[in-house]
Amino acid sequence: MDTIFTLLMVLIMIASILLTIVVMAQNPKGGGLSSTFGGASSAQFGVQRTNDFMEKATWTLGAVIIVLILISVVITGKPSQTAPATQQPVKKEAPAQQSAPASQSTTPVAPTK
């Protein structure tokens, strides 16, 4: 089960890095990679196709990340018995009051001159 969880975490990290790259490649003003191919309107991978691909890649990678996270939560299951939430609370006892030893007097002694 540990290896499956590790594999899922690696896949989530790869998908997250790819999603970051896809989002960074997009231009918030509509340019991005599509502005590079804008001059050649007859190109087979033109402006509209680039925007569609980037949008589909963004949504797909986001969905993949969500699904992988949900699968990892289901695989890990319930918390183990050693988790802090399932342990019994420890009762702290109040410290016992210490009484003065019998050899010492509790009344102050007046200094002698």
Instruction: Kindly give the interhelix angle for 2-25 and 47-76, rounded to the nearest 10 degrees.
Output: 160
Residues 17-60: pLDDT tens digits? Answer: 999 999 998 876 655 555 555 554 444 555 566 778 888 999 99
Average pLDDT, integer, range 67-89: 74
Predicted confidence (pLDDT) at residue 62 exceeds the cutoff of 90 = yes
pLDDT averaged over every residue in the chain: 75
Task: Record the pTM.
Answer: 0.53
Nearest Cα neighbor of 35 from 22, 48, 23, 24 is 48
